[in-house]
Structure 1
Amino acid sequence: MIAEQLQLILQSAWAALPTLLRAAPITLGYALAAMLLGLPLALLVALARLSGIAFLRWLSGVYVSFIRGTPLLVQIFVVYYGLPSFGVTLSPLVGGVLALTLNAAAYLSETMRAAILSVPRGQWEAALSLGLTRRQTLRLVVLPQAARVALPSLGNTLIGLVKDTSLVSVITVVELLRSAQLVIARTFEPFGPYLAAALIYWVLSSLLELVQRRLETRLARQG
Structure 2
Amino acid sequence: MQNIKKILFSIILVITMFMLPAHHVMADDNSNVNNTNDTSVKDIKEKGTLVVGVSADYPPYEFTAKVGDKTKYVGMDIDIARKIADDLGVKLELKNMDFDSLLVALETHKIDGVISAINPTPERRKNVDFTELYYSGKQVILVNEADRDKYQTKADFNGQTIGAQTGSLLYDLVKEQMPKAKVKGLAKLNNLVIALQTGKVQGVAMDQPTAEAYAVNNKGLVIMDPKFKVDADQTGYAMAFAKGSDALVDAANKSISEIKEQNLITNDYIPKASKYMKTTTEDNDLIDYWSYFLKGIEYTLLITAISVVIGFILGTLLALMRLSDNKIAHAISVAYIEFIRGTPLMVQVMFVYFGIGAVVQSLPALVAGIIATSLNSGAYIAEIIRSGIDSIEKGQTEAARSLGLTKNQTYRYVVIPQALKNIWPALGNEFITLIKESSIVSIIGVTDLMYQTQLVQSATYKGVAPLFVTMIIYFIMTFSLSKVLGHFERKMNHD
User: Normalising to structure 2: TM-score of the pair?
Assistant: 0.42
**2:346 aligns to what?**
73
- CA distance in structure 1 between the aligned counterparts of 2:285 and 2:324, rounded to whole angstroms: 55
Among 134, 144, 147, which residue is 2:417 paired with? 144
Among 111, 124, 147, which residue is 2:384 paired with? 111
Letter in 2 for 1:78: F
- Alpha carbons 2:435, 2:478 under 8 Å: kept: yes
- The Cα shift of 1:88 comes to 5.8
More helix by share: 1
**2:337 aligns to what?**
64
- Alpha carbons 2:295, 2:452 under 8 Å: kept: no
- CA distance in structure 1 between the aligned counterparts of 2:366 and 2:360, rounded to whole angstroms: 18
Residue 52 (structure 1) aligned with residue 333 (structure 2):
no
More strand by share: 2
Letter in 2 for 1:177: M
Residue 132 (structure 1) aligned with residue 132 (structure 2):
no
**1:191 aligns to what?**
464
Q: Which has the higher contact order (CA 8 A, sep 6+)?
A: 1
- CA distance in structure 2 between the aligned counterparts of 1:13 and 1:213, rounded to whole angstroms: 33
Letter in 2 for 1:20: F
- The Cα shift of 1:111 comes to 0.2
Letter in 2 for 1:136: Q
Moved more, 12-21 or 111-120: 12-21
Among 301, 308, 316, which residue is 1:43 paired with? 316
Per-residue Cα deviation, 1:55-103 (whole angstroms, up to 9, x for no partner): 2222111111111111100000111100034446411111111000000
- CA distance in structure 1 between the aligned counterparts of 2:404 and 2:302, rounded to whole angstroms: 42
Residue 215 (structure 1) aligned with residue 452 (structure 2):
no
- CA distance in structure 2 between the aligned counterparts of 1:110 and 1:12, rounded to whole angstroms: 46
- Alpha carbons 2:316, 2:382 under 8 Å: kept: yes
- CA distance in structure 2 between the aligned counterparts of 1:12 and 1:122, rounded to whole angstroms: 64
- The Cα shift of 1:21 comes to 2.5
Letter in 2 for 1:77: M
- CA distance in structure 1 between the aligned counterparts of 2:362 and 2:327, rounded to whole angstroms: 34
Residue 30 (structure 1) aligned with residue 290 (structure 2):
no
Letter in 1 for 2:473: I
**Aligned runs of 1:7-22 on 2, under 5 Å?**
12-22=285-295
- The Cα shift of 1:22 comes to 3.2
Per-residue Cα deviation, 1:99-139 (whole angstroms, up to 9, x for no partner): 00000000000000000111111111111111111011111
Bigger CA radius of gyration: 2
- The Cα shift of 1:13 comes to 4.0
User: Normalising to structure 1: TM-score of the pair?
Assistant: 0.90
4+ aligned runs moved over 6 Å, structure 1: none
Per-residue Cα deviation, 1:145-189 (whole angstroms, up to 9, x for no partner): 111111111110110000011011111111101111111221111
**1:8 aligns to what?**
none
Residue 169 (structure 1) aligned with residue 442 (structure 2):
yes
- CA distance in structure 1 between the aligned counterparts of 2:337 and 2:456, rounded to whole angstroms: 37
Q: Which runs of 5+ in 1 are unaligned?
A: 6-10
- CA distance in structure 1 between the aligned counterparts of 2:328 and 2:420, rounded to whole angstroms: 27
- Alpha carbons 2:389, 2:415 under 8 Å: kept: yes
Q: Which runs of 5+ in 2 are unaligned?
A: 1-218, 220-283
Residue 155 (structure 1) aligned with residue 428 (structure 2):
yes
Letter in 1 for 2:321: A
Letter in 2 for 1:80: Y
- CA distance in structure 1 between the aligned counterparts of 2:341 and 2:379, rounded to whole angstroms: 7
- CA distance in structure 2 between the aligned counterparts of 1:176 and 1:106, rounded to whole angstroms: 25
- CA distance in structure 1 between the aligned counterparts of 2:348 and 2:422, rounded to whole angstroms: 29
**1:205 aligns to what?**
478
- CA distance in structure 1 between the aligned counterparts of 2:291 and 2:357, rounded to whole angstroms: 36
- Alpha carbons 1:38, 1:108 under 8 Å: kept: yes
